[in-house]
Amino acid sequence: MKVRITNGMLMGLVVNMVYAKAIGLTQGIMAREAGSDMWMATILSTLQGMAVMLITVIVMLRLPEKNMVEQAALLLGKWGGKLIAALLFLFFLGAFGTVMITFVYHLMDYFLPEVPVIVFILVGGAVAVYAVYQGLEVIARMALVGSFSIIALNVLVLFGSIYQFDIRELLPVFQNGFVNTIKASRHNDTDWAMATLMTALILPLVRDRLTWKKSAPLAIVYGGLFVLQWPILEAGVLSPEMTGQYIVACMQLARSAEIGQFIHRYEMIMIAFFATSALVQTMMSLMCACMSVSHVLGLKDYRPVILPTTLVLGGFGYWVVLDHGRAMRLLSDYWPPAALAVAFGVPMLVFAAGFLRKKKLAAARKEAEEEKQAQMRKSS
């Protein structure tokens, strides 16, 4: 029996897939480009994310039993499908690198500066391997736990830092111009890209396809709202200039927050609640990479490729994280054009292929319907 997850779980996965990186590293980069408009850039980016998610879901709904790679294989031929799968693998390889930058720098720069990078990669990788081995349903449940952690963290940070908040720091609006703000939003778009391409691979495993169109974009809205609190607080408490000075801006915000005498350091609370989201990002990046590899190799199950894929992803993650300069160059210069090209290009390509090959699509849909009815007859 195929594993199935609920729409609520999908929403949890989308929110977690975005949150950890979006509140810290992304905001730091956006602060450097957009200044006090970083929160505006986050809103614009959320709207763009919603649009791409909607396009992705519309493409998926044409053949809801097949994921994006399977649809591509059907419409573009076997090798076309493999090419798309390889492209998605490369995307998730890069995504894993950015996620590892988030995970490692949060822990290493603020808690364990003497621990070698390889230890972080090994430990994070081990947890991800175990989760991927357990399957999507377990990760999705973890994401639901992570969603509650995110809410708790947001509330705590809000309470801990609201007294230092100065709204004047958010002014003037569009300080560096509207176009520049839109341009800066591309960094947060890369976070949404991970969510939309993950959805493109796992959507057929989500129950109740009638609500896909509603739940997937709604997840982006929720995720956007959870993330949006951070640029507003970071700009209002730390100031945009100060936020831009840090690699992990959210930790600096957490460091400045306090409630009374005995909750005077928020970093650990932050990690306690944020770790789930960061680990879900790691798990899902690895899982999607494994699924892509299994499609490239023509395997029915992704489990045999977990270990080799982890080695490749872990190796890349280690190489990226080892050098802060390299990591930041990847995040701010190379990753956005590459990620956005894949996140927007692949759904559009498959959409266009379906548009041009309507007959094939109709035949596949009919075949899937007949197969479904045969299965229902068999089970009854």
Partner 1 sequence: MRDVGELLKERVSTDLADNVCCVEDVLGGNADLIKREFVYHEQRNLTGIVFFVDGLVSPKEIDHSIMRPLTMHTAELERFQHAHLGPQFAEEIKKHVLTNTGILLFDKIDTAINGLLSGDTVLFLEGCGEGFLISTRGWEARSIDEPTTEPVVRGPRDGFTENIRTNTALMRRRIRDANLQIEGLQIGDRTRTDINVAYIKGVVREGLVEEVYKRLQSIRIDGILESGYIEELIEDAPLSPFTTIQSTERPDKVASSLLEGRVAIFVDNTPFVLILPTTFWQFLQASDDFYSRYWAGSFFRLVRFIAFFISLTFPSMYVMLVSFHQEMIPTALALSIAAGRESVPFPALLEAMVMEVAFELMREAGLRMPRPVGQAVSIVGSLVVGQAAVQAGLVSPTMVIVVAITGISSFAIPNYAASFSIRVLRFPLLLASGALGLLGFAAVFSLLVLHALSLRSFGQSYLSPAAPFQPSEQQDLVLRMPIWMMNRRPAVAGADDTRMGPNQMPAPPDEEGEGDESAESRMADEEEAPNAGKGKRKGSRPWRSGKS
Please report, as ranges, the residues that interact with partner 1 according to CB under 8 A: 6, 8-9, 107, 111-112, 115, 119-120, 123-124, 126-127, 130-131, 134-135, 138, 141-142, 144-145, 261-262, 264-265, 267-268, 271-272, 275-276, 279
Provide φ and ψ at 52, rounded to 5°: -65, -40
Smallest separation (angstroms) from partner 1 to the CB of 314: 14
Find the shortest distance in angstroms from Cβ 261 to partner 1: 7
The residue (of 144 and 343) whose beta carbon lies closer to partner 1 is 144
The answer to whether the beta carbons of residues 171 and 40 sit under 8 Å apart is: no
Question: Rounded to the nearest whole angstrom, what is the least distance from the CB of residue 41 to partner 1 in the complex?
Answer: 30
Tell me if the bond preceding 347 is cis, omega within 30° of 0: no
Minimum distance, C-beta of residue 337 to partner 1, in the bound complex (Å): 33
Choice between 108 and 353, CB closer to partner 1: 108
Six-digit token pair at 333?
């210069």
Could you tell me the smallest distance in angstroms from the CB atom of residue 272 to partner 1? 8
**Which residue lies nearer to partner 1 by CB, 50 or 121?**
121
- The alpha carbon of residue 164 and the mean position of all alpha carbons in its chain are separated, in whole angstroms, by 30
Category of 366 on φ-ψ map: left (φ > 0), alpha (ψ -120 to 50) or beta: alpha
Residues 6 or more apart in contact with residue 362 via CB below 8 angstroms: none
- Maximal C-alpha separation, the chain: 69
Number of C-beta neighbours around residue 152 at 10 A = 13
CB of 142 to partner 1, least distance (A): 6
HSE (side-chain half, CA atoms, 13 Å) at 73: 15
Residue 306, amino acid: I
| Nearer of residues 144 and 293 to partner 1, judged by Cβ | 144
Residue with Cβ nearer partner 1 (55 or 218): 218
Instruction: Indicate the residue among 130 and 159 with the shorter CB distance to partner 1.
Output: 130
Q: Which CB atom, from 8 or from 64, has the smaller least distance to partner 1?
A: 8
Report the nearest approach of partner 1 to the CB of residue 89 (Å).
Answer: 24
Give the residue among 134, 137, 140, 131 at the shortest CA–CA distance from 11: 140
Q: CA torsion angle for 351, 132, 112, 311 (degrees, to 10)? A: -80
